[in-house]
């Protein structure tokens, strides 16, 4: 079956702009989480959604937001982009979102802010 699909794969934005990234989880998966990956900070948890509700949020400013739709698809938005937001943004999904469930990652969206 299809894996976690993220779009777009690559994008370049200008400082001050906003960006929306999309994630389609594996069919049947109800939990979606987002991570930011940078060379300096590694993989950092952004937020987690289950059944359209945000269950957890990482230590990121309010410019980072997300949502989940009734079909489990998710979007994340970053407003007022800063140079430091340049990163690989990874979406992950799991069946029910409990500790110990296999978590599958997409290939990510590469965001460059100039």
Partner 1 sequence: QQQVKQSPQSLIVQKGGIPIINCAYENTAFDYFPWYQQFPGKGPALLIAIRPDVSEKKEGRFTISFNKSAKQFSLHIMDSQPGDSATYFCAATSGGYNTDKLIFGTGTRLQVFP
Would you tell me which residues interact with partner 1 (CB under 8 A)?
4, 31, 33, 35, 42-45, 48, 50, 55-56, 90, 92, 94, 97-108
Nearer to partner 1, 85 or 93 (CB): 93
CB 31 within 8 A of CB 99: no
Tokens of 87: 């990163």
Cis peptide before 29 (omega within 30 of 0): no
Nearer to partner 1, 54 or 80 (CB): 54
Nearer to partner 1, 79 or 86 (CB): 86
Contact 103, 33 (CB under 8 A): yes
């Amino acid at each position: 079956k299809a894996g976690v699909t993220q779009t777009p794969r690559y994008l370049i934005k200008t400082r001050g702009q906003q960006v929306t990234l999309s994630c389609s989880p594996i069919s049947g998966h109800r939990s979606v989480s987002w991570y930011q990956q940078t060379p300096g900070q590694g993989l950092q948890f952004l937020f987690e959604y289950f059944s359209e509700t945000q269950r957890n949020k990482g230590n990121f400013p309010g410019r980072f937001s997300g949502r989940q739709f009734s079909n489990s698809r998710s979007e994340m938005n970053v407003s007022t982009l800063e140079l430091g937001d340049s990163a690989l943004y990874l979406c992950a999904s799991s069946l029910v979102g409990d500790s110990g469930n296999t978590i599958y990652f997409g290939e990510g969206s590469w965001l460059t802010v100039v």
